[in-house]
Amino acid sequence: MDISYYLVLSALLFATGAIGVLIRRSPLVILLCLELMLNAGNLALLAFSRSLADQQGQVLALVVMVVAACEVVVGLGLIVAAYRRKLPLNVDEFRTLRG
Amino acid sequence: MKEVLFWIGAIGAIGGAAAVVALRNPFYSVLALIVHLVSIAGLFLILQAEFIAAAQVVVYAGAVMVLYVFVAAYVGGIEEPTLDAIPGQRPLAFLVGAAIFIELSIAIVGSGLLALDSGGPEVALGFGSPAGVGKLMLERFLIAFEAASLLLLIAAIGAVVLAERRRRDESDAEEVLG
């Protein structure tokens, strides 16, 4: 299977995630769409790692997974904290920090 | 054989991703993401990244998704407004997504890298095994490894601080209620 198929697939998955971030309002689903985009990046990293026969890309993919896990943990903590304070869970309503 | 497995994985990954974006109930979106992650792990296996594929299933589809499922169940079905905040937001979003996809595809197909038109060179037997990746990680990328572990620790502490139930919140809620 040509490496370019994997790269086009990862571009398609990244675009799907970007559409999700743009059209959804619930912060939980936006976090899920960010996961889609990070995984698309990982797929491209591993495809290039295979194409160059070099394992360094796989180490980078592991670091991306760690960063994604941290982002999930902090994001879900924020969602739970917002829910406890009875704030509306809608990203259009979170505008206190807007300049 | 590889072709068949690739297309099965690709259809699973695209279907899961589309379902995450399209489903109204966040709980079903989380379940669709699990399908997506397992399909992607299959693709990682075809790319001979066995350790990453195993980590993907154990860490992501296992641990992180359990966290998502619990939060989705705790927060419940979030009512999402059907009206766009900005007029024409949805068509514009699809346009931007299509533009990203077309631009990346042109960059990939038009690139001068000859290696992209092949399945990649032959690799040694231990390529992508825990031994190979671990050796690289603990020797050449030791600082990145330590930074990642420190980041995980900070994130764990941060999540506990953020989601902690404070007495002040409860008294605030009581004041609002009564």
Structure token pair of residue B85: 């905040």
Nearest to A51 by CA among B105, B140, B114: B114
pLDDT greater at residue B15 or residue B125? B15
CA A57 to chain B, closest CA, distance in angstroms equals 10
pTM: 0.88
pLDDT digits (tens, 9 = 90+) for B74-126: 887 666 766 667 778 888 999 999 999 999 999 888 877 766 777 777 777 77
Q: Do B162 and A80 touch (CB under 8 A)?
A: yes
pLDDT tens-digit profile of A87-97?
A: 777 887 777 77
Residue B169 has pLDDT above 70, yes or no: no
Mind listing the pLDDT tens digit for each residue in A54-88? 888 899 999 999 999 999 999 998 888 888 887 77
CA distances B79 to A90, B25, B75, B154, Å, are 9, 9, 11, 32
The pLDDT-based confidence of B175 (bands split at 50, 70, 90) is low
CB B72 within 8 A of CB B26: yes
Confidence of residue B178 (pLDDT cuts 50, 70, 90): very low
Torsion of the alpha carbons at B136, B141, B147 and B150, rounded to the nearest 10: 30
Task: Answer for the pair A29, B29: CB distance below 8 angstroms, yes or no.
Answer: yes
Contact status of B159 with chain A (Cβ, < 8 Å): yes
User: Would you state the pLDDT for residue B18?
Assistant: 94
DSSP B148-166: HHHHHHHHHHHHHHHH---
Mutate to test the interface with A, among B60, B67, B177 (most CBs of A within 10 A): B60
* Cβ count near B7 (within 10 Å): 12
Task: Please answer yes or no on whether B152 and A15 come within 8 Å at the CB atom.
Answer: no
Q: Is B143 on the interface with A (CB under 8 A)?
A: no
Min Cα separation A97/chain B (Å): 18
- Cβ atoms of A51 and B115 within 8 Å: the answer is yes
Alpha helices in chain B (DSSP H): 2-22, 26-46, 50-55, 65-75, 89-109, 130-139, 142-163, 167-177
Q: Is pLDDT above 70 for A41?
A: yes
Of B46, B55, B163, the CB nearest to A80: B163
